[in-house]
Amino acid sequence: MSAPNLRDRYLQDSINTASPARLLIMLYDRLILDLMHGEEALRNEDRVLANEKITHAQEIVLELRVTLDVDAWEGAPGLASLYGFILTELIGANIKRDADRVASCRTLLEPLRDAWRDAASAST
């Protein structure tokens, strides 16, 4: 098996065997990475790459929003609203080519990712 195929298989196996908490953290990690790359691409005026990264970030936010059980805990509706705000900001940032809006979204999401990571490690 070739190196790229082995890598793809490893990644797929990692996803398939991850706990729900680990999957959530993986999504947040990828979301933050996409936002960093999207912001950088906008600042470098690479519109194609920026669109690709910001659009992928939007897809992740949508996935986080639709899988959120708003009845599971009292903070869930607020988190759903935050996801809605982030999505609106990313769409606007992509249209207006506004790297600062992308950076603001990342600034909002990084502490949330870190909190999920801390919660997951505390429960293990």
Asked if pLDDT for residue 6 goes beyond 90, the answer is no
User: What is the rounded distance in angstroms from the CA atom of residue 102 to the CA atom of residue 91?
Assistant: 10
User: What is the rounded distance in angstroms from the CA atom of residue 25 to the CA atom of residue 14?
Assistant: 13
Domain ranges of the chain: 20-123
CATH architecture label of 20-123: Up-down Bundle (1.20)
Instruction: List pLDDT tens digits, range 16-65.
Output: 667 888 999 999 999 999 999 999 999 999 999 999 999 999 999 999 99
